[in-house]
Amino acid sequence: MFVVDAFGARWAFDASGVEPALGDELRRLWGRARVEPAAGARADDAPPFVVRRIDAATLEVHGTPHRVVDADVPYAVSRALTMASILRRSGECLMLHAAGLATSDGGTVALVAASGTGKTTASRVLGTALGYVSDETVSVEHDLTVRAYPKPLSVVTDPGAPHGKHERSPQELGLLPAPPRLSLSAIVVLRRSADTASPVLEPVSLVEAMGEVLPQTSALPSLDRPLDRLATALTTGHGPWRLTYRDIGDCVQLLTDLAHGRHPQGQPHEVTWEWVDGTASDPVTAADAVPSPAWTRAPFRDAVVSDGDALVMLDRVPVTLPGLAATVWRAAARPTTLDDLVAVATTEHGPHPDAPTVVAATLDSLVERGVMLAALDPAATRPA
């Protein structure tokens, strides 16, 4: 038994219930993630993560039976340990589906990409020049420190079967270890393109980047102020950034500079944004005089507004509002008439001959999407 730290979730890894050769292989693969128990603690003080043989064809991994051949066991273990760690850390940290690479002083870049689009390759190539943090999950704490997850890398060995992955240890691949203390330098959205001759690292608007990164997070709605936490992380290092490239090996210097806080455009660009707390919205009460007809915002968790666009978290569902839709939504913090919304839209976007029609159509769309509500006079709903 030994202790593994998966981005802040410690486990007592027990492979004593499998054949010695398989147990030794698992211990070797997870050697980089192995840590000593905390001072005064024992290895078995951490929650158990048990891998054991049920029968000749079945292994139990953290309580779940798997019918796999021995060659596929390490990948099954890696997936199970990652998912179990995500569950334990939900509500505590921002978890990105990203490769993580770090400088010797701990500056860390998180390279966000969907599954199967380059994270592990980036880790393998860049990890010989920068310290290997993770090929799968980068966790960012409230203070922008990063917790490492130097798991074995999940490598596709047969392009015709992309879901059949085999595990390779960081040591086996010659990847450099990351320093013990890590802090976020920047988040970069990866975009691989065969048509790009030279890599391009460029800034991205905040709301656009949030829309791209949100699907590549785990348990984001479980956080307090989820969009605020995401925007804060994305704007670290004067981001957000997008890297368009053909060969990730051409990007070593660009990403090393970014991890050190050196920016490709020289003068860093500034991103400004506003966080809106949905939980602080005042409800309409019977004492309010509500014009009729009128519209107001639907209940929401939180929102971020930047460069005239907005991203709104409705309970657990994010909705992007560009331009005029964002203007209308922002103006309707309290029940507001169409005439008043048209006036605000004209002030912000200029006059338009069909402004009432355009704003009304925007309202209809926002109501249909659940972002706005037709406001009701509270007095009309009081018992007689």
pLDDT tens digits, one per residue of 169-197? 999 999 999 999 999 999 999 999 999 99
Tokens of 305: 């507004």
Say if 266 falls within a structural domain: no
Tokens of 8: 């802040």
One domain, residues 73 and 158: no
The count of structural domains within the chain is 3
The CATH number of residue 99's host domain is 3.40.50
- pLDDT band with cut points at 50, 70 and 90 for residue 128: very high
Domain closes at, from 89, 114, 149: 89
Say if 31 falls within a structural domain: yes
**Of the candidates 87, 33, 80, 180, which has an alpha carbon nearest to the alpha carbon of residue 2?**
33
- pLDDT band with cut points at 50, 70 and 90 for residue 255: very high
Tens digit of pLDDT for each residue in 208-253?
A: 999 999 999 999 999 999 999 999 999 999 999 999 999 999 999 9
SS3 breakdown of the chain: % helix, strand, coil, rounded to 5? 30, 30, 35
Instruction: Compute the distance between CA of residue 136 and CA of residue 47 in angstroms, rounded to an integer.
Output: 22
Residue 323 buriedness (CB in 10 A; 0-12 / 13-18 / 19+): middle
- pLDDT band with cut points at 50, 70 and 90 for residue 348: very high
Percent of all residues in the chain with a pLDDT value above 90, rounded to a whole number: 80
One domain, residues 109 and 255: yes
Tens digit of pLDDT for each residue in 35-51?
A: 987 766 676 789 999 99
Q: Average pLDDT of the chain?
A: 91
One domain, residues 107 and 211: yes
One domain, residues 69 and 114: no
Q: Is 363 helix (H, G, I), strand (E, B) or coil?
A: helix
All residues at 6 or more sequence positions from 130 whose CB lies less than 8 Å from its CB, including other chains? 101, 102, 103, 109, 176, 252, 255, 256, 259
Q: Is the pTM of this model over 0.85?
A: yes
Instruction: Compute the distance between CA of residue 260 and CA of residue 199 in angstroms, rounded to an integer.
Output: 18
Tokens of 351: 């006059």
Say if 264 falls within a structural domain: no
Furthest CA-CA distance within the chain: 79
Across 289-295, average pLDDT: 78
Peptide bond into 283 cis (omega under 30): no
Say if 161 falls within a structural domain: yes
One domain, residues 18 and 116: no
One domain, residues 129 and 232: yes
Domain closes at, from 259, 289, 323: 259
Q: In 252-316, where do the E strands start and end?
A: 274-277, 294-297, 302-306, 309-314
Peptide bond into 293 cis (omega under 30): yes
Produce one character per residue of 94-125: b if its CB has 16 or more CB atoms within 10 Å, e if not: bbbbbbbbbbeebbbbbbbbeeeebbbbbbbb
One domain, residues 126 and 65: no
Say if 302 falls within a structural domain: yes
Query: How crowded is the C-beta side of 45, counted as CA atoms within 13 Å?
Result: 8
pLDDT > 80? residue 304: yes
Other beta carbons within 10 angstroms of residue 216's beta carbon come to 20
pLDDT > 60? residue 18: yes
Q: How far is CA 322 from CA 143, 294, 310, 362, in A?
A: 30, 22, 6, 11
One domain, residues 206 and 113: yes
Eight-class DSSP state of 247: -
Q: What's the Rg (C-alpha) of the chain? A: 25
One domain, residues 251 and 127: yes
pLDDT > 70? residue 160: no
Task: Give the domain range for residue 209.
Answer: 94-259
Other beta carbons within 10 angstroms of residue 192's beta carbon come to 16
Domain closes at, from 66, 89, 112: 89
